[in-house]
Amino acid sequence: MPGFEVFGDEEKKEILDVLDTGVLFRYEFPEQRRGVYKVRTFEENFARYCGVGYAQAVTSGTAALKVGLTALGVGPGDEVITQCFTFVATWEAIFDVGAVPVFAEVDETLNMDPADLEKKITSRTKAIVPVHMLGAQARIREIKAIADKHGIPVLEDTAQAAGGSLDGKRLGTFGACGTFSFDAVKTMTTGEGGMIITDDEKLWRNMSEYHDHGHDHVPNPGTRGGEGRNFIGFNFRMMELQGAIGLAQLAKLDDMISRQKKNKAALKEAIGKIKDVSFRTILDETGDTATFIAFFLPDGERAKAVNALLKENGAGAIAFGSNTWHFYPKWEHLLAGSTLNTSGWPFTGPDGKRRVIYDKDALPASAALMDRLLVYQVPVKLTEERLAQMVAALEKAAQI
Ligand SMILES: *Cc1c(COP(=O)(O)O)cnc(C)c1O
């Protein structure tokens, strides 16, 4: 839990600024707040850090996806292509705007395979949502080129890769917009929270109004002031305490990443000794956030044997092939079409017909990759004792 590892005096100081004014709401209360606008300042700093014109803070990474998709005009009848290795939130948001998620294979980047993406584009495809999973780059240039050819906007789910880049350009800035999560396990955290970045002013204005019940922000962009509403909205507003924590965490992001890089390098050296091991394709090592280290064994059996030995020695790795949160064949509720409402929506349409069926065997290339994949989360703070234990376990694994 990287961001949480470095929570300290800086965060406390920012929070106290808010408690001193007593204004927890991001808008209004001009006199009482005495110039303290933490969420707005966090948005400005985040946009500047990413090198974009606009940033919109929201309540979570899932909300960021929903606000972004809504602003792009995605809704019922549309398809959105994402990847089969991601967190459930990515496709929850697609369903939640009324669209249908279509899953593309991942390749050795552990992110969207551009060739499979192109095969899955139809006349209904309204958006493409690649994910920069496990802290590193999707093949975003190729994905964007394919999307441009078909005139489809790209939303980058950058929830796991804040601070990452490709050839010096921040992840989240390649598509029409990029979304971020600051939940409790992300590299920078506000406990709960999210952000959407864009260079498109109109898109940002729509996000700003949509996330605040549709209130008219036109006379006062980025804040309130109008009397009417242009369209229906919802409430995804971030509160001042989260904005305050976000400011302190953002200031620590580069340092967290550089410490993770150092720890990742030490682990990589030890992992590299395992026979026939290969590493996940990283398109640009400089722009990797080093939040995770991912490696492949030649086949599933070897991966299981190696991980059993690692576990025995106190250094078990994550096997995403059997983890139930991040990989398509393990999403039992998606495959079963489980929903709480009686109509069956979103799996069943208004006409009572099943509108989408997910087959667990539909993505064989990804299944074969996941089967032989092992992953460690890379902490910001790695004690010498823990590193030594991991290295010793990996050395044992290197001998089988
Ligand atoms: C964490 C995460 C989200 C959702 O973020 P929350 O802030 O937890 O709602 C979305 N996509 C990916 C890839 C994530 O890892």
Domain harbouring 165, CATH code:
3.40.640.10
In the chain, the N- to C-terminal Cα span, in Å, equals: 31
Nearest-angstrom CA–CA distance, 72 and 161: 22
Shared-domain flag, residues 315 and 218: no
> Given a cut of 90, is residue 370 above it in pLDDT?
yes
Nearest-angstrom CA–CA distance, 365 and 143: 18
Q: What is the CA radius of gyration of the chain?
A: 22
Residue labelled with tokens 């590892």? 5
Domain boundary among 252, 281, 307: 252
Number of domains in the chain: 2
User: What is the per-residue pLDDT for 55?
Assistant: 98
Domain boundary among 199, 230, 252: 252
The whole-number average pLDDT for the span 20-47 is 97
The active-site residue out of 66, 186, 252, 264 is: 186
Shared-domain flag, residues 232 and 286: no
Domain boundary among 200, 228, 252: 252
User: What is the per-residue pLDDT for 2?
Assistant: 78
In a domain, 147, yes or no: yes
User: What is the per-residue pLDDT for 222?
Assistant: 82
The whole-number average pLDDT for the span 151-174 is 98
Nearest-angstrom CA–CA distance, 74 and 97: 7
**Ligand 1 neighbour 86 (Cβ under 6 A):** yes
**Ligand 1 neighbour 59 (Cβ under 6 A):** no
Domain of residue 247 covers 3-252
Q: Look up 169 and say whether it is catalytic.
A: no
Shared-domain flag, residues 243 and 267: no
Shared-domain flag, residues 55 and 176: yes
295 - beta bridge partners?
Answer: 279, 374
Number of C-beta neighbours around residue 74 at 10 A: 23
**Ligand 1 neighbour 62 (Cβ under 6 A):** yes
> Given a cut of 80, is residue 323 above it in pLDDT?
no
- The residues near 301 (Cβ < 8 Å, ≥ 6 apart) are none
The whole-number average pLDDT for the span 371-384 is 95
Q: What mean pLDDT is reported for the chain?
A: 96
> Given a cut of 80, is residue 380 above it in pLDDT?
yes
HSE-CB at 135 with a 13 A cutoff on CA atoms is 28
83 - beta bridge partners?
Answer: 104
Q: What is the CATH number of the domain that holds 315?
A: 3.90.1150.10
Shared-domain flag, residues 155 and 24: yes
In a domain, 354, yes or no: no
* Three-state SS annotation for the chain: CHHHHCCCHHHHHHHHHHHHHCCCCCCCCCCCCCCCCHHHHHHHHHHHHHCCCEEEEECCHHHHHHHHHHHCCCCCCCEEEEECECCCHHHHHHHHCCCEEEEECECCCCCECHHHHHHHCCCCEEEEECECHHHCCCCHHHHHHHHHHHCCCEEEECCCCCCCEECCEECCCCCCEEEEECECCCCCCCECCEEEEECCHHHHHHHHHHCECCECCCCCCCCCCCCCECCCCCECCCCHHHHHHHHHHHHHHHHHHHHHHHHHHHHHHHHCCCCCCEECCCCCHHHCCCCEEEEECCCHHHHHHHHHHHHHCCCCCECCCCCCCCEHHHCHHHHHCCCCCCCCCCCECCCCCECCCCCCCCCHHHHHHHHCEEEEECCCCCCHHHHHHHHHHHHHHHCC
More confident residue, 226 or 125: 125
Residue labelled with tokens 């200031």? 251
The whole-number average pLDDT for the span 67-71 is 98
The whole-number average pLDDT for the span 342-367 is 95
Q: Residue 68: pLDDT band by 50, 70, 90 thresholds?
A: very high
User: What is the per-residue pLDDT for 226?
Assistant: 80
Residue 63 CA, ligand 1 centroid: distance in Å: 9
Residue 196 CA, ligand 1 centroid: distance in Å: 12
Structural tokens at position 14: 């920012």
In a domain, 340, yes or no: no
Q: What is the pTM of this model?
A: 0.97
Q: Which of 3-12, 36-45, 64-73, 265-274 has the lowest mean pLDDT?
A: 3-12
Structural tokens at position 287: 């722009």
> Given a cut of 70, is residue 202 above it in pLDDT?
yes
How would you classify the pairing of strands 194-198 and 373-377?
A: unpaired
Nearest-angstrom CA–CA distance, 179 and 173: 10
**Ligand 1 neighbour 110 (Cβ under 6 A):** no
> In percent, how much of the chain has pLDDT > 70?
100
Residue 166 CA, ligand 1 centroid: distance in Å: 21
Give yes or no for a contact between 183 and 61, defined as CB atoms under 8 angstroms apart.
yes
In a domain, 35, yes or no: yes
Q: Which of 33-42, 183-192, 216-225 has the lowest mean pLDDT?
A: 216-225
Shared-domain flag, residues 100 and 31: yes
Shared-domain flag, residues 138 and 227: yes
> Given a cut of 90, is residue 44 above it in pLDDT?
yes
Shared-domain flag, residues 260 and 198: no
Nearest-angstrom CA–CA distance, 6 and 254: 12
**Ligand 1 neighbour 105 (Cβ under 6 A):** no
Shared-domain flag, residues 239 and 270: no
Shared-domain flag, residues 32 and 101: yes
Among 183, 318, 331, the mutation site with the greatest number of ligand 1 atoms within 8 A of its Cβ is 183
User: What is the per-residue pLDDT for 1?
Assistant: 57
**Ligand 1 neighbour 190 (Cβ under 6 A):** no
User: What is the per-residue pLDDT for 321?
Assistant: 84
User: What is the per-residue pLDDT for 35?
Assistant: 95
The whole-number average pLDDT for the span 353-357 is 93
Residue 276 CA, ligand 1 centroid: distance in Å: 33
Q: Residue 227: pLDDT band by 50, 70, 90 thresholds?
A: confident
> Given a cut of 60, is residue 218 above it in pLDDT?
yes
